[in-house]
Amino acid sequence: MARPIITRVRRLLIAMAVLLLPAAASAEDGFRLWLRYAPLAEAEAAAIRPALTAIMLPPEPGPVAAVAAAELERGLAGMVGRAPIRTTRLQAGTILMLREGDPRLREAGVDLRGLGDEGFVLRSASVGSVPVTVIGARTEQGLLYGSFGLLRHLGQGRAIDVLDLRSAPKVRLRVLNHWDNLDGHVERGYAGDSLWDWWLLPDWRDPRLTDYARANASIGINGTVLNNVNASAEILTPRYLEKVAAIADMLRPYGIKVYLSARFSAPIEIGGLQSADPVDPAVGRWWAQTANRIYARIPDFGGFLVKANSEGQPGPGDYGRSHAEGANMLARALAPHGGVVMWRAFVYSETDAADRAKQAYAEFQPLDGRFDDNVIVQVKNGAIDFQPREPFHPLFGAMPQTPLMLELQITKEYLGFATHIAYLGTLFEEVLDTDTGHPAGTVADVVAGSGQGDRLTGIAGVANIGDDRDWSGSTFNQANWYAFGRLAWDAALPADEIAREWAAQTFSPRAEAIAPVTDILMMSREAVVDYMTPLGLAHLMATDHHYGPGPWVGDLARPEWNPTYYHRADREGIGFDRSVTGSNAVSQYAPAVARRFGDPATTPDNLLLWFHHLPWDHRLSTGETLWAGLIARYDRGVARVAEMDRLWSRTRPFVDAERHAKTATFLDIQANEARWWRDASVAYFQSVSELPLPPGAAPPAHNLDHYKSLTFPHAPGRGD
């Protein structure tokens, strides 16, 4: 009897599904990040294969050396088609891992001096006349970084026979800040929910956390703050500390320490005390006991990150105490265990009428030298809030007696969320390379603590990571995570070199693929600046969610919540006067910088309206009027997105269909939203300036009321 048709169809479908399974399992959905280890072209693979046939671990290897070897096996199996065997007898083609004290280091000509605890050497050498590739480091952690360094080198299609590379980080704490809430929501997150499944932890240890650790270790990140700076005290309860400990266990073999954001009022909320006053001995005792409890379970716990007296968070100011008193009290609790306090300088008061850009400096600079040794003050790159472009924060270089940690935002709260391509390598580089005008030098020098002995140093990045398959909400956002790690490791790396490295490993090491991807990356952030906030404008995003333009918003309760506060446009002109005739925020910079920013003639066009309120007919350095220049930049931003789209279409032969199509769609979204930003901004500023559009400029697609009427109550990443 013939089977019922329904059964036959079902069987056929099952058979098809089975056939398709391997393809689906290896789909290019972005999960593998820059660690794809895709096969190299056969000619290249054949050239390097003989040099990579075996791995020899250091004597008595620990867990970190073991994961380093496992990563080399995995990477080489992918790239050259054959995993090296583990050997205890030297043979030609061995990758030889050598730790400090090994006599073979001298024979191989490897000098570990100056590498610190995390640096490494990669060197083609001869040991006992056997040709080998040495990974040399003082510690196993260095060997792990060296292994990733070797894989990165190979992933760019580079030769191995003349390898001679030294690398060591200048900054000690290279840390991600997750703004993840205990309910799984990620504040300012655009890549899904939190990676930490607080509900199922500590029982369920998601293997994905090992991939998270691998990715971070591959770019040198050695710490992660698990929870939002707008913190819940509950994270410090025994129940949650068990969960934190489970995560710490998974990250430890990769050299990644966990840190927690601590809520200053925790002694009241979970400790049963009446006060959180930092000078109250009972409060100090409570924190010391809490630290003891944490370290009993997590011996290498990193420490606390604290947002205090900022945007409604509790802090020492609630008791009339200073930030130093608050930070030092926590520092004393952590000091016996070697923990640190990262105390944020992102403060502006609800009651302070001063220019918001001045408030952090006013509050923190007088505290220079008053923090304990295990406190580092974490300062955002600019004085307002992670805008597409800001001048560097005036605190850099102005607190020589205090370690300062740079805080960057990797997630794109103000740069188009997940969909817009905005490579932040160029933004980070711009900040790091800026000369503060103080004796300390550039922001990078300040952050590296140059000339300050072995004081605490650090860089933090607000993570753009969630539980989306591709981790960061888009393939190109992965480049920002990558660039953050690489620059935290070595601030001197050029952003375009990092872009090329990332493109080679993420897509293909072929020059025809690397070139257009690098071009896209390198032009992208400036495009966003142009279509959102050109010429030094800032904070023109819509309220709360910061999605899309809202330059007309001027009716919110606090002045500094309103875009109109920042642009101050009227019929006469536009911009925030921070020169001596205005808020005098320029006076917070070193004299030479204050002079440069204090005069419109010497202020670069790209920061002009940050520092000056100028008439619409003011001449830019290009000779155009401010009005014409403003419109031209909006148009240039839109045109650059079209150019990015053209460049992306050239990569089709080198990029798998899945990631190519998703990126192409996101570029369409970006093109539409760039146009929206341009049109809404032009419509608004024209309504204020009452000037005709310059010849050739297209009128906005809609009238101003249309743009004002748009609302987005369900935009992602909400901040509550």
**Contact residues: ligand GCV, CB under 6 A:** 179, 187-188, 229-230, 307, 311, 346, 385, 413, 719
> Least separation, in Å, of the C-beta of 606 and ligand GCV?
23
312/453 with CB nearer ligand GCV: 312
453/713 with CB nearer ligand GCV: 713
Beta bridge partner(s), residue 710: none
With vertex at residue 164, the alpha carbon angle to CA 459 and CA 454, rounded to the nearest 5 degrees, is 35
Residue with tokens 């006469």, as numbered in its chain: 572
* Contacts by 156-161, CB closer than 8 A, 24 or more apart: 156/500, 156/501, 156/504, 156/505, 156/509, 157/40, 157/41, 157/44, 157/504, 157/509, 157/510, 159/47, 159/48, 160/48, 160/51, 160/52, 160/124, 160/133, 161/51, 161/124
286/343 with CB nearer ligand GCV: 343
Whether the Cβ atoms of residue 244 and residue 258 lie closer than 8 Å to each other: yes
> Least separation, in Å, of the C-beta of 396 and ligand GCV?
17
* Residue 381: closest CA among 419, 335, 346: 346
348/597 with CB nearer ligand GCV: 348
DSSP state of 709: H
> Least separation, in Å, of the C-beta of 407 and ligand GCV?
8
71/407 with CB nearer ligand GCV: 407
How far apart CA 627 and CA 569 sit, in angstroms, is 11
How far apart CA 480 and CA 477 sit, in angstroms, is 5
Most distant pair of Cα atoms in the chain: their distance? 96
187/430 with CB nearer ligand GCV: 187
How far apart CA 624 and CA 540 sit, in angstroms, is 23
> Least separation, in Å, of the C-beta of 417 and ligand GCV?
13
Residue with tokens 């600019």, as numbered in its chain: 382
| Residue type at position 68 | A
188/257 with CB nearer ligand GCV: 188
Cα radius of gyration rounded to whole Å, the chain: 27
> Least separation, in Å, of the C-beta of 45 and ligand GCV?
46
> Least separation, in Å, of the C-beta of 233 and ligand GCV?
16
- Give me 108's structure tokens: 């191989």
394/600 with CB nearer ligand GCV: 394
Beta bridge partner(s), residue 549: 541
189/485 with CB nearer ligand GCV: 189
> Least separation, in Å, of the C-beta of 712 and ligand GCV?
15
Whether the Cβ atoms of residue 171 and residue 447 lie closer than 8 Å to each other: yes
**Other C-beta atoms within 10 Å of 695: how many?**
6
* Contacts by 38-47, CB closer than 8 A, 24 or more apart: 38/78, 38/79, 38/508, 39/78, 39/79, 39/80, 39/81, 40/79, 40/80, 40/154, 40/157, 40/509, 41/157, 41/510, 44/157, 44/509, 45/79, 45/80, 45/81, 47/159
> Where in the sequence numbering do the catalytic residues fall?
311, 385, 413
Residue with tokens 């446009």, as numbered in its chain: 569
> Least separation, in Å, of the C-beta of 538 and ligand GCV?
13
> What string of H, E and C letters represents the secondary structure of 141-180?
HHHHHHHHHHHHHHHCCCCCCCCEEEECCCCCEEEEECCE
> Least separation, in Å, of the C-beta of 192 and ligand GCV?
17
192/629 with CB nearer ligand GCV: 192
DSSP state of 702: S
- Give me 665's structure tokens: 């769609």
> Least separation, in Å, of the C-beta of 278 and ligand GCV?
20
